[in-house]
Amino acid sequence: MSAIIEFKAHDGWALFVSIFGGIVYGLPAGVIAGILGEPRWVDLSAGIRGTFSASILYGVAVGAILPVFLSDIIGRKLIFIISGFISFVFTILLAFMNSTVSCIIMRSLSGIGAGMIATMAPAYTGELSSLKWRGVLVSLVRVTMTGGVIIGYLLNIPFNYVNDGWRYEFVILKNAGVQNRLTLLLLTLVVGVWNCLTSTPNLFLLDRLGRKKVLIFGSIVQTIGMFFIMLSNWIPALADNGRSYYMAIPGIVVYLAGYEVGIGPLFMVMIAEMFPETVTSAVSSLMMTIMWVSNLIIVTVYSPLSKAIGDRGVFIITFVLSFSQVIFSIFAVKDTKGMHKRHNQGVLQEDNNSNLNQSSV
């Protein structure tokens, strides 16, 4: 009963923003992402395939930076209205596009709205929510993002039987030896459901264990999963006989579990907690922009890089990056559990005074 009393009105608005902000981003990502297995896209060059796959992220990268400049000028509410309108209009227009160039343009423009929403949802949720519920509600943004992706995957399955239908084919699964399109769709749906399920433990673990412990645990699990995926391309008995999926699928399952328990939602939570209130919105938007630009680079270079050095080389690189994340989480990350924004403002002021004293000496 006390929990209900302590859940105040502004927490209710934060809950609304976290749910619908995540779904609005996740749904179009699940519907229109990864259609490169379609017959009409198979013959494209690796560079064009990479550009097409990453096209929505071009818009997301642009949209993510806009709240940095606009949030204090026009307000958070108007940003949500504008971003929703942009995402809706250009997603509708995308459905009527046929040429590769027009699809890339429409996906990029719709991504601007998605990027604004994806950036502002965790930042605005962090501002609205009380200290007691902040970690849970910001983590919920990630849960609803994956839930939106699942809805998109479900919408893809009926179009498996429609000529020129839009569907998602998990590239790693296809390269691992799974060729049947309906099987790919069902496996992708299963992966999406697992993705959503593994993002929910954070709602209960963050405040009990602390951010850093959960981040380290998730990073270790994520690295183990990537190790399995890497081995699936190196073991001759699997790779040479088209059976890499025997180890790739368990690797994906483990990797996603680690990612969704760890860095996936925790990135949003920690950037909403670790900065002073006066700069939270701007800095959170900037951090989200850096994340989306990084995603853009990875998606763009994946196809050309895979063609140049093979999947084996690509997964070696990703394994090294995952292992580096474990080391960074252990030695460089500070726990933000219970860090009140006023206290954080005080810590910043103390650091500034210390720097001034040192410079005067």
Instruction: Write the pLDDT tens digit of every residue in 316-339.
Output: 999 999 999 999 999 998 887 666
Q: Do residues 34 and 269 lie in contact, with contact meaning Cβ atoms separated by under 8 Å?
A: no
In sequence order, what are the residues at sequence separation of 6 or more whose Cβ sits closer than 8 angstroms to the Cβ of residue 349? none
pLDDT at position 358: 47
Least confident of 122-126, 248-252, 334-338: 334-338
Our measurement of the distance from residue 122's CA atom to the centroid of its chain's CA atoms, rounded to an integer in Å, reads 12
> Are the C-beta atoms of residues 127 and 280 closer than 8 Å to each other?
yes
Determine how many CB atoms are found less than 10 A away from the CB of residue 344. Answer: 17
User: If you average pLDDT over residues 55-60, what whole number do you get?
Assistant: 81
Tokens of 215: 């981040």
**Two structure tokens written together for 31:** 């519907």
3-state secondary structure 45-67: CHHHHHHHHHHHHHHHHHHHHHH
- Choice among 16-25, 26-35, 224-233, 272-281 with the minimum mean pLDDT: 26-35
Does residue 218 carry a pLDDT above 60? yes
Residue 168 has pLDDT above 50, yes or no: no
Instruction: Return the CATH class of domain 2-350.
Output: mainly alpha
Token digits for 117?
A: 């929403």
* Nearest CA-CA partner of 42 in 218, 169, 172: 169
Is the pLDDT reported for residue 342 higher than 50?
Answer: no
Residue 216 has pLDDT above 90, yes or no: yes
Domain borders along the chain are 2-350
Q: pLDDT value at position 101?
A: 85
